[in-house]
Copies of this chain bind each other. A is one copy, B any other.
């Protein structure tokens, strides 16, 4: 073998690849990894429906993880009612993976939220505690060994608008206190979603995923794929940071006739996940 031979080998091997195309290929290789997260629905998507109809729609779109919202099972529900509701989930082969969002404005509401989650049999509360209740919430996560994913609501609500605000308040507390990263509200806050996922990934315990049509407060929910969010990039980033929770569709358009938009959004997620698998 001589220099010319090596030259020829290199030319054949590289085949005109630029550095960027090599990089592209490396990420294509990384894409071979299985998705670490699951697709679900936030109970809030079905705010206008009873639980039976909600679970029927979940089944129709073949989504098996749902966060349980209080309008489908009140915080003060009896043990019998809880058992009945859990039976309905089981019948539809759907797993309630967490409860919430639950707003907590008093010590009693914090205590009730944890008691409720325990009775439901989940170890994740999606919650919005008032700031001054965080020490109590921290005490409770230690006592119960639950996670609390603090839901962010963008420019609409003063309490925990964005992920950085949750992060600043919980970073020195027990690590079971974290974030429910609502991606639509993140974009409505004018933030770079991918940056926020990367920055705060170690404390992201739930995700509310939905597409949004404008990157400011006037933006609202649209069918996934019709708005601003690059879901391929989002899902690939979640794989990079090894997010092992649920990406729950929170669909808040046409809430009285929600199924077509839910189905289109879930179909879109499936298409994106398939192509990057």
Contact of A264 among B9, B29, B263 (CB under 8 A): B263
Contact of A22 among B6, B17, B60, B223 (CB under 8 A): B17
CB atoms of B21 and A25 under 8 A apart:
yes
What range describes how many residues of A lie at the interface? 35 or more
Number of copies: 2
Inter-chain contacts of A259 with B (CB < 8 A): 259-260, 263
- The interface-forming segment of A158-166, A239-247, A268-276 is A268-276
Alpha-carbon distance A266/B17, docked complex (angstroms): 34
Contact of A6 among B10, B60, B223 (CB under 8 A): B10
Alpha-carbon distance A34/B232, docked complex (angstroms): 18
CB atoms of B272 and A274 under 8 A apart:
yes
Inter-chain contacts of A269 with B (CB < 8 A): 267, 271
CB atoms of B61 and A232 under 8 A apart:
no
With both chains docked as a complex, state the minimum distance between the C-beta of A129 and any C-beta of chain B, in angstroms. Answer: 35
Inter-chain contacts of A1 with B (CB < 8 A): 3
Q: CB of A28 within 8 A of chain B?
A: yes
CB atoms of A24 and B15 under 8 A apart:
no
With both chains docked as a complex, state the minimum distance between the C-beta of A247 and any C-beta of chain B, in angstroms. Answer: 14
Inter-chain contacts of A226 with B (CB < 8 A): 62
Contact of A267 among B3, B22, B28, B263 (CB under 8 A): B263
Q: CB of A141 within 8 A of chain B?
A: no
Alpha-carbon distance A263/B223, docked complex (angstroms): 10
Q: CB of A26 within 8 A of chain B?
A: yes
Inter-chain contacts of A274 with B (CB < 8 A): 225, 231-232, 268, 271-272
With both chains docked as a complex, state the minimum distance between the C-beta of A272 and any C-beta of chain B, in angstroms. Answer: 4
Q: CB of A117 within 8 A of chain B?
A: no
Q: Which residues of A contact B (CB under 8 A)?
A: 1-3, 6-7, 9-10, 13-15, 17, 21-22, 24-26, 28-29, 60-62, 223-226, 231-232, 259-261, 263-276
Q: What are 9 contact pairs spanning A and B, CB under 8 A? A: A3-B6, A21-B25, A21-B29, A24-B28, A25-B25, A225-B267, A225-B274, A259-B260, A267-B268
Ordered nearest first, which 5 A-B pairs have the shortest CB separation? A271-B271, A267-B267, A275-B275, A264-B267, A6-B6
